[in-house]
């Protein structure tokens, strides 16, 4: 398998899907929204973009399985699996807030080896392969050089349908408000991770996430020199529904503040 060739083709797929999403946004109507659950929205744009992506990725690597958000094709294989979010930031898309992305990852056995995130509105394509470095539109990227929490800007997400641990989360936010340059909630986990990777923010954390929200962005952070873990400083961040990502210096302080307030399930 030529990973460079697969990466090049995957980038083309992400951009193609992003172009479709961009065009549809111009004429999108709120009446086109469906609800999968409380505050969990989907539209024909998500579904059609996913069909397009799955069709193209099947041709690139026919032997791979799929983990997809909208269920176009969900079957895992032992060796290779694509992990796909056709429109990460659907709520932003629906309301016309210009932060949403296409996220594609390729997992080999238990390890993600390729990630592509295409931020539609700025036409920024972030990508990485295992051991190959991280890039944005062909330019190498690195995490920030912030040396501690006090010098950092932190991104996060807010719970939208699972409020079981909201009090713990608010305690973390209150603490970080007092110790950082500020907090940002962009609304696309994939974009948050890429912004850590290119140094626009110094750290990111969130819970109640799915594999397709984070798989593409996580490897980009790692290949940009960052650290990615779950809330226990472990490696269950793809399927464990919680993630911390930052540059190596900020990580210690961010991890400590999260764990002061975050109570085990």
Ranges of the chain whose pLDDT falls below 70: 29-32, 35-42, 264-265
pLDDT tens digits, 31-48: 667 766 554 556 788 899
Instruction: Kindly report the pTM of this predicted structure.
Output: 0.94
> By three-state DSSP, how is residue 36 classified?
strand
User: 145-182 pLDDT, tens per residue?
Assistant: 999 999 999 999 987 777 788 899 999 999 999 999 99
Q: How far apart are CA 197 and CA 144, in angstroms?
A: 8
**Beta strand pairing call for 80-88 and 65-68:** parallel
**Hey, what domains does the chain have and what are their CATH numbers?**
3-140 (3.30.540.10), 149-261 (3.40.190.80)
Q: What angle do CA 152, 153, 156 make, to 5 degrees?
A: 130
């Amino acid at each position: 398998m030529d990973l460079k060739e697969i990466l090049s083709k995957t980038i083309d797929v992400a951009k193609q899907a992003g172009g479709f999403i961009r065009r549809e946004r111009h004429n999108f109507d709120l009446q086109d929204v469906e609800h999968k659950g409380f505050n969990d929205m989907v539209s024909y744009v998500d579904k059609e973009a996913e069909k397009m992506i799955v069709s193209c990725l099947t041709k690139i690597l026919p032997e791979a399985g799929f983990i997809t958000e909208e269920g176009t094709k969900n079957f895992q294989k032992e060796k290779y699996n694509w992990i796909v979010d056709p429109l990460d930031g659907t709520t932003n898309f629906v309301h016309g807030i210009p932060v949403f992305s296409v996220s594609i990852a390729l997992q080999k056995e238990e390890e993600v080896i390729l990630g592509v995130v295409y931020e539609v509105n700025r036409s920024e394509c972030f990508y990485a392969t295992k051991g190959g470095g991280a890039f944005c539109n062909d330019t190498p990227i690195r995490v920030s050089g912030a040396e501690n929490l006090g010098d950092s800007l932190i991104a996060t997400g807010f719970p939208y349908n699972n409020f079981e641990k909201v009090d713990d989360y608010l305690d973390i936010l209150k603490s970080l408000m007092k110790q950082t340059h500020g907090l940002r909630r962009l609304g696309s986990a994939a974009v948050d991770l890429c912004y850590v990777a290119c140094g626009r923010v110094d750290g990111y954390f969130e819970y109640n996430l799915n594999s397709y929200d984070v798989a593409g962005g996580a490897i980009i952070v790692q290949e940009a020199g960052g650290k990615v873990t779950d809330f226990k400083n472990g490696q269950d961040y793809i399927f464990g529904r919680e993630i911390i990502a930052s540059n190596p210096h900020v990580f210690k302080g961010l991890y400590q503040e999260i764990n002061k307030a975050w109570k085990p399930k």
